[in-house]
Amino acid sequence: MRKQIAAANWKMNLTLAKGEELVDQLLDATTGLTENQEAVFAVPFPYLVNIKNKLAGKSNVFVAAQNCYNKVSGAYTGEVSAEILKSIGTDYVVIGHSERREYFNESNQMLAEKINICLEYKLKPIFCCGEALEIREADTQNSYVENQIKESLFHLSAEQITGFVIAYEPIWAIGTGKTATSAQAQEIQAYIRVVLASKYGKEIADSISILYGGSVKAANAKEIFSQPDVDGGLVGGASLMATEFAAIIKSLK
Ligand code: 13P
């Protein structure tokens, strides 16, 4: 069975002390993770080492960076490379979050470059895709997301994409309290798997974890995660609250 993942995206929130306290409060919930379940903490760059150390010796828990640069190294003041992230023990990197696409003009092509560099340094990308409200209203979300996937991922080999992690996050559901229904999430995530299968075959498509993100909370996680093509969630606001995120972890299949 492919991995079921509860991924916290803290975004630009929490102090180090508050983040460490939150992780401490979640250790009980993470202890209950089964072999094919994972909890991932996408934390601000400066906390990666601290949170990684807090999780030392625990099974199935990982840290993620929220971004990395699309160049290997060099004179790029203020940027953080995949090599730097690897050197401090980072496991995953969130690539192409809609906030990065929107506020930092990250194109599908740039994201393809970031993914290549992550793979070169043995970091696991969590590739984000998802449509804005006007695209959903025009009912063109499937072709929009298909294009995001084709332009950023289809250059990868079958070996590179096996066991990959994709997060489908409709922009209209992020931070709005307006979740996609479980049926909407299932429909497009099943479509994403069909798109992947068209290039890589069913077996590889079935190995790829597809998370849902957008106003996931304790009250709706179980219903959303119960869908066959939803393999967990990428969670913003509710991941900042221990009881909420603990319940979300426990909602994994
Ligand atoms: P919210 O859970 O706050 O809607 O954010 C979702 C998200 O952007 C996770 O990456």
Task: List, for residues 41-70, the tens digit of each pLDDT value.
Answer: 999 999 999 999 999 999 999 999 999 999
Q: Which atom of ligand 1 is nearest to the CA of 98?
A: 8
Residue 1: pLDDT above 90? no
Q: What is the pLDDT of residue 126?
A: 98
Assign residue 74 a region (left: φ > 0; alpha: ψ between -120 and 50; beta: otherwise).
left
**Comparing 27-31, 83-87, 122-126, 213-217, which segment has the lowest mean pLDDT?**
27-31
Catalytic residue list contains 134? no
Residue among 106, 131, 146, 169 flagged as catalytic: 169
- Distance of CA 134 from the midpoint of ligand 1 (Å): 19
Q: Which atom of ligand 1 is nearest to the CA of 217?
A: 2
- Distance of CA 174 from the midpoint of ligand 1 (Å): 5
Which of 66, 93, 216 to probe ligand 1 with, by most ligand atoms within 8 A of CB? 216
Q: What is the pLDDT of residue 247?
A: 97
Q: What is the pLDDT of residue 103?
A: 97
Average pLDDT over the chain reads 96
161, 100, 132, 166: CA torsion to nearest 10: 20
Q: What is the pLDDT of residue 66?
A: 98
Tokens 């984000």 identify what position?
128
Task: List, for residues 149-188, the tens digit of each pLDDT value.
Answer: 999 999 999 999 998 999 999 999 888 878 889 999 999 9
Q: What are the domain boundaries of the chain?
A: 4-249
- Distance of CA 14 from the midpoint of ligand 1 (Å): 15
Tell whether ligand 1 has an atom less than 6 A from the beta carbon of residue 169. yes
Task: List, for residues 95-150, the tens digit of each pLDDT value.
Answer: 999 999 999 999 999 999 999 999 999 999 999 999 999 999 999 999 999 999 99
For the residues 232-243, what does the mean pLDDT come to? 98
Element (H, E) at 192: helix 182-200
Phi, psi (degrees; rounded to nearest 5) at 166: -120, 140
For the residues 63-91, what does the mean pLDDT come to? 98
Asked if 232 contacts 225 with a C-beta cutoff of 8 angstroms, the reply is yes
- Distance of CA 67 from the midpoint of ligand 1 (Å): 15
Q: What is the pLDDT of residue 176?
A: 83
Residue closest via CA to ligand 1's atom 7 equals 236
Quickly name the fold that domain 4-249 has.
Answer: TIM Barrel (3.20.20)
Catalytic residue list contains 97? yes
